[in-house]
Chain A
Amino acid sequence: MSIDLAQFIPTFLEESFEGLEVMESGLLNLDTEDAETINAIFRAAHSIKGGAGTFGFTDITDFTHVVETLMDELRAERRAFTDTLKNLLLSSVDCIRLLLEAARDNTECNDPQVDQVFKQLEMVLAGGEVVLTHADNEKADSTHNLSSENDNLPENVSSAGEINNSGWHIEFKPAQHLLMTGNEPILMMAALAECGEFLVHACTANVPALLDLNPEELFLVWDMDLYSDCDEAVVREVFEWVEDDCELTITPIVDDNRAVNSQSDSLFQEHLADFQNPQGDVPVSVQDEAPVAATITTESVAPEASVSITAAERAEMSSVAKSQDNVRKSQSDAGSIRVGIDKIDGLINRVGELVITQSMLGQVGSELADLEHPAVDRLNDGLLQLERNTRDLQEEVMRIRMLPISFVFNRFPRLVHDVSSQLGKEVELKLSGEQTELDKTVMEKIGDPLLHLVRNALDHGLETPQERVAAGKSECGTLDLNAYHQGGFIIIQIKDDGRGLDTQRIREKALENGLISSDQVLSEADIHDLIFLPGFSTAVEVNGLSGRGVGMDVVRRNIESLGGHVSVTSEAGIGSSFTVTLPLTLAILDGQLIKLQQEAYIIPLVSIVESIWVSAEALNAVAGQGRLFLFRDEYVPVIHLSSLFGFEEYSKDFSSSLMVIVEGGGKKAGLIVDELQGQQQVVIKSLETNYKRVDGFFGATILGNGQVALILDVASLIKMGLDNANKKQPRRHKNNDEAQQMKVRV
């Protein structure tokens, strides 16, 4: 096999990280002795070990091996699952992650935690009560269909090899296709011979006559005796890659000649072969009982990591012949492929260009509409069709990028488990709406802010059990994470039933930091909103969880930079609820084209409440400066965009203006514009690519005529407009420095 293994390392790492997630969520859900979950965890650990072995990450192999052994004992019910064990296994998941990350970055992992956990694991392995009686074994055996080989003997051989023996008797009956998988028995024997005195007897009974002999197939069966004091694991390792393609029996050669059988656990290790021979075409056989899995072949650029695992799962399901929950099965039945994100982004960009071209053609078409020519109608028909197809295509392409928010939510059970035990709090985490989809880019950027909000809720929101009981609540606090779609947005709610925000303390703190003045009248909601201001933290002491200088202001800013919004409602003693509103995608939006002097701008359609003509009398001046407009019983500030943008030709003529009422960041405002033009779907292009982020704008887009139009970020514009009014200097364009300040202020 002369393939460059290195090219498969990224795939291995990707699958391993997924495996870790499987292990983690499995461990967290493993409250009862659930054979299926334990198996899933075991398989995940085993895959990581196998892969790591192939690519020579010995530290990962060694570490995972211990975890695997432990899981194996759990699986065979030779060990009871305790909370301590759960925590140890969880921290070992962390260690494997550290090791994998080190492998990914091509560095050494020097974290002392790894050694520490490794030692603990070994200690547990060595000191634990291992042996169970055979009667108890039956259940496990029936799950794995092993009982045929398991004679009336204790099963503890595979884990430790404590039985005194002078060597191993190995019966090795390879499958006929073994050679085609690139394995060479002679090399294995050479490896065994290095361990000690080695005797081999080949049984040629199965070899066909020369005429019928296929030289590429293997018909030999070997009996081997290895006289050595090595562990069974050492012997087993030699056969590690062929376990699935052979029948292997390893028996200790005991002094008193009492043979102890241990059966190979090759039955559930079929997915190892994926790593061993990644270019595919390896028939992965699950010996006899699983026709489903028997012919699974895997492709080189690995498909969904779950393929191999699923095969095993199904095999077991069929062997157990129980109607276990088929949900997982049906989920994994939905075929999927793994594609690099750059390819998808390339596709999306291309479609974006197509949309621009289409709208350009549409414009030309409408210009030609008056022309008397028979082809014009046909052209317009074609253009209509093009528009429809482009839109459909764009939607389909965008859907590729959409992922369920469970990718983010899945981090939280672990976090909540760790943090709550660290804080001595009891917390029940409720997740709902995990299947709500949103754009991958948004998802990547929302992870940290959400993490922060969840930590805050655990740290500041929820009380200790004592406090809760004293307040007449149940000991266990509840943290609700909920996601759902609303309009073009995804709403994520983080709700706790803790003590709620302390209005009094927030006010004091804000006064102390000079964020508000003492005579300022603030509503409850206004005060709650103060926690999002920079430099605000009410945490009495800074601890490792929250309050380390990253305040809610950063959370808000990050969410707003995605075009989203975060708000809080809270009731003392009842709890707080943070609501994060995010656009579903950052790639396209439906916009309203407006004109300001000679320039075109886009207002996101979702931000627009209404567009109206207003007369000068309807605009009420306040203290001769800012203007307010009475819009449905509500006074909204009026922002003259030309003035805000500092365009010279600013006219104070308000006698009759076109006003777009917009809403963003929880506030409304009326934007005075010169002209309203059509609505269209636009492709968002980042200004950062070649310039930098500009305050007040999401980005830009290219219109059908090739012109660039900036896309207004309504929330930040309203803020700028209000700040501007407060400074009472509407005409700031004369001074560049001031314009600079406007941008520096965040």
Chain B
Amino acid sequence: MTETELTLCSESKQFLTFVLANEEYAVDILRVQEIRGWMPVTRIPGAPGYMKGVLNLRGEIIPIIDLRERFGFETKAYNHTTVVVFVWIKSEERQRSMGLVVDAVADTYDIANEAINPAPLMGEGLDPKFIEALATVEGKMVILLDIDYLLNADALACTQTGYLNE
């Protein structure tokens, strides 16, 4: 192993994990802006069901996405552990902020790069494209989400129509 590879391997990243239907999902902690308890949102007519609505985060209007519904899991009534994780994502040239409704926040981990494995193709359930990788932490499997893809796909894509673009 060359020296550069060694340094790469020994590096680790911090992740925030949260629980969704008894599984643990992780996002890069640097992407997390804020975590808040669930609060009522303003619905957006015509938006897909998983898009719960928008709310005001310090003067900004942020769309809120229910991850359970986004992944097609069974919905569950929001309770006192339900939280909204505000993350920022890269969308084309700009940054957008979105809130993810999850069952509960779990933990933060330092995950070494070598503990991260590419995600195997899965038969059913979660769209494998949403998953960036899998990691093993303290004997548990943690799913690292590709939020840039997840929150830019389908109806969430920012559609920009310029004057002559059609």
A residues bordering B, Cβ < 8 Å?
349, 352-353, 356, 445, 448-449, 550, 554, 558, 598-600, 644-647, 685-696, 700, 702, 706-710, 736, 739-740, 742-743, 746
**Does chain A have a CB within 8 A of B139?**
no
Tell me the nearest residue of chain A to B158, going by C-beta.
Answer: A692
Measured in the bound complex, the distance between the Cα atoms of B156 and A359 in whole Å is 32
Near A by CB (< 8 A), chain B positions 27-80 give 40-49, 53-56, 59-63
**Contacts A554-B163, A689-B60, A708-B61: A739 and B46 contacting too (C-beta < 8 A)?**
yes
Residues from chain A with Cβ under 8 Å of B42 in the complex: 599-600, 700, 707-710
Measured in the bound complex, the distance between the Cα atoms of B88 and A341 in whole Å is 25
Query: Do residues B59 and A743 form an inter-chain contact, with CB atoms below 8 A?
Result: no
**Does chain A have a CB within 8 A of B166?**
yes
Query: Do residues A700 and B163 form an inter-chain contact, with CB atoms below 8 A?
Result: no
Closest Cβ of chain B to A63, distance in Å, is 29
Query: Do residues B61 and A689 form an inter-chain contact, with CB atoms below 8 A?
Result: yes
28 of the cross-chain contacts (CB-CB < 8 Å) are A349-B59, A445-B163, A550-B163, A550-B164, A550-B166, A554-B166, A598-B40, A645-B43, A687-B54, A687-B61, A689-B61, A689-B96, A690-B60, A690-B61, A690-B96, A690-B97, A691-B54, A691-B63, A691-B156, A693-B159, A694-B45, A702-B59, A708-B42, A708-B54, A709-B42, A739-B48, A740-B155, A746-B161
Pick the most buried of A645, A687, A702: most chain B CB atoms within 10 A of its CB: A702
Closest Cβ of chain B to A158, distance in Å, is 46
**Contacts A448-B164, A690-B98, A710-B42: A700 and B157 contacting too (C-beta < 8 A)?**
no
Q: How many residues of B contact A (CB 8 A)?
A: 31
Tell me the nearest residue of chain B to A642, going by C-beta.
Answer: B45
Closest Cβ of chain B to A644, distance in Å, is 7
Tell me the nearest residue of chain A to B53, going by C-beta.
Answer: A708
Measured in the bound complex, the distance between the Cα atoms of B156 and A554 in whole Å is 24
Measured in the bound complex, the distance between the Cα atoms of B98 and A706 in whole Å is 18
Residues from chain B with Cβ under 8 Å of A708 in the complex: 41-42, 53-56, 61
Residues from chain B with Cβ under 8 Å of A685 in the complex: 60-61
Query: Do residues B54 and A695 form an inter-chain contact, with CB atoms below 8 A?
Result: no
Interface of A is mostly: mixed
Residues from chain A with Cβ under 8 Å of B96 in the complex: 689-691
Measured in the bound complex, the distance between the Cα atoms of B43 and A710 in whole Å is 9
Residues from chain A with Cβ under 8 Å of B49 in the complex: 736
Closest Cβ of chain A to B21, distance in Å, is 21
Tell me the nearest residue of chain A to B65, going by C-beta.
Answer: A691
Residues from chain A with Cβ under 8 Å of B157 in the complex: 692
Query: Do residues A558 and B46 form an inter-chain contact, with CB atoms below 8 A?
Result: no
Query: Do residues A694 and B56 form an inter-chain contact, with CB atoms below 8 A?
Result: no
Residues from chain B with Cβ under 8 Å of A695 in the complex: 46
Query: Do residues B63 and A645 form an inter-chain contact, with CB atoms below 8 A?
Result: no
Residues from chain A with Cβ under 8 Å of B61 in the complex: 685-687, 689-691, 700, 702, 708
Residues from chain A with Cβ under 8 Å of B156 in the complex: 691-692
Measured in the bound complex, the distance between the Cα atoms of B54 and A709 in whole Å is 9
Closest Cβ of chain A to B79, distance in Å, is 20
Measured in the bound complex, the distance between the Cα atoms of B116 and A199 in whole Å is 79
Residues from chain A with Cβ under 8 Å of B163 in the complex: 445, 448-449, 550, 554, 558
Known: A708-B42, A710-B42. 4 other contacts (CB 8 A): A691-B158, A702-B56, A706-B56, A740-B48
Measured in the bound complex, the distance between the Cα atoms of B96 and A599 in whole Å is 25
Query: Do residues B46 and A646 form an inter-chain contact, with CB atoms below 8 A?
Result: yes
**Contacts A448-B164, A690-B61, A707-B56: A743 and B158 contacting too (C-beta < 8 A)?**
no
Counting from the closest, the 5 A-B pairs by CB-CB distance are A645-B45, A708-B42, A691-B63, A690-B96, A448-B163
Query: Do residues B48 and A644 form an inter-chain contact, with CB atoms below 8 A?
Result: no
Closest Cβ of chain B to A13, distance in Å, is 23
Query: Do residues A742 and B59 form an inter-chain contact, with CB atoms below 8 A?
Result: no
Closest Cβ of chain B to A542, distance in Å, is 15
Measured in the bound complex, the distance between the Cα atoms of B55 and A702 in whole Å is 9
Taking a contact as CB atoms closer than 8 A, the residue among B40, B46, B161 that contacts A694 in the complex is: B46
Query: Do residues A700 and B54 form an inter-chain contact, with CB atoms below 8 A?
Result: yes
Residues from chain A with Cβ under 8 Å of B62 in the complex: 690
Measured in the bound complex, the distance between the Cα atoms of B62 and A445 in whole Å is 25
Measured in the bound complex, the distance between the Cα atoms of B166 and A740 in whole Å is 20
Query: Do residues B47 and A694 form an inter-chain contact, with CB atoms below 8 A?
Result: yes
Measured in the bound complex, the distance between the Cα atoms of B164 and A695 in whole Å is 20
Tell me the nearest residue of chain A to B58, going by C-beta.
Answer: A353
Residues from chain B with Cβ under 8 Å of A740 in the complex: 46, 48, 155
Measured in the bound complex, the distance between the Cα atoms of B156 and A709 in whole Å is 20
Q: Residues 96-112 of chain B: 1 if any A CB is under 8 Å from the residue's CB, otherwise 0?
A: 11100000000000000
Measured in the bound complex, the distance between the Cα atoms of B93 and A688 in whole Å is 13
Pick the most buried of B49, B59, B161: most chain A CB atoms within 10 A of its CB: B59
Closest Cβ of chain B to A308, distance in Å, is 35
